[in-house]
Amino acid sequence: RGAHAKIVFTGDYVDRGADSRGVIERLMAGPKRSQDEFICLRGNHDDLFVRAVMSGQGLPDWAWHLYWHTVVSYGLDREAARGSDPTLSRHAEFLAALPLTHDDGTHLFVHAGIRPGVALELQSEQDLLWIRHEFLDHDGLLPRRVVHGHTIIGDLPVLTANRISIDTGAFQSGILTAAVINGPEVSFLQAVRRADRSAVVREFELRAIVHGRKVSSTARKAQSDYLEGRIDLIGLQQLSDE
């Protein structure tokens, strides 16, 4: 919306839909506006894919069963994937070079989360890519508010004092969520796939009330033209309580 938008992607560009190749090509192309910036982070599925493709031995059984639809998006079958497909290799190199985190001084963007009690500079790659419950169940303060994906949390994002969870499982729900962070203000955009495979974009805000580990997030309408979407967010409550 402003003169400069920094757009951070939190990973898992492969194995999350039928067109992994198209997703990676779009990211590699960069933003359409020259004043904007893409920051792409690596996810655990991207990491596994890179390891399989760059092993020099073709896709092992585990990788084929996990990534067969990703390989098909490149127009390859399993035998062809054993060779050195130039596009597949170029995309694997792109994914391998992606950072694991982006720190803007207030928010830490990462795929999975961080381990509480460990300094940011000492976080392990394993945790940054894979952590779940130790991070999600933590109700204390963290060095930064963490913006992350990895764990699907339902049709609505979750906003707490220490994290912004935005993975709404787009590959299965058809709902892709982005957090819009402007200083202390946070709102959300969702692109929702409709039955005719077109999409509608809606905007809303979450008013988060945190009591221990319970988060009550009430979505408040910001625009009136998103009501064609998959769900009506007005007054909808999401409770997250272990």
Written as six digits, the tokens of 154 are 């339902």
Output the pLDDT for position 227: 27
Written as six digits, the tokens of 197 are 């495979």
Q: Mention every residue, 6+ apart, whose C-beta is less than 8 A from residue 148.
A: 10, 109, 110, 111, 112, 113, 135, 163, 164, 165, 166, 167
User: pLDDT by residue (tens digit) across 80-139?
Assistant: 555 567 888 899 999 999 999 999 999 999 999 999 999 999 999 999 999 999 999 998
Output the pLDDT for position 234: 27
With pLDDT > 90 as the criterion, what percentage of the chain qualifies? 42
Place of tokens 């959300």: 188
Place of tokens 């912004």: 164
**Domain residue limits, the chain:** 153-242
Output the pLDDT for position 184: 84
Query: 144 pLDDT band (50/70/90 cuts)?
Result: very high
Instruction: Judge whether residue 163 has pLDDT over 90.
Output: yes
Output the pLDDT for position 68: 66
pTM listed for this prediction? 0.79
Is 127 in contact with 115 (CB distance < 8 Å)?
Answer: yes
* More confident site: 186 or 71: 186
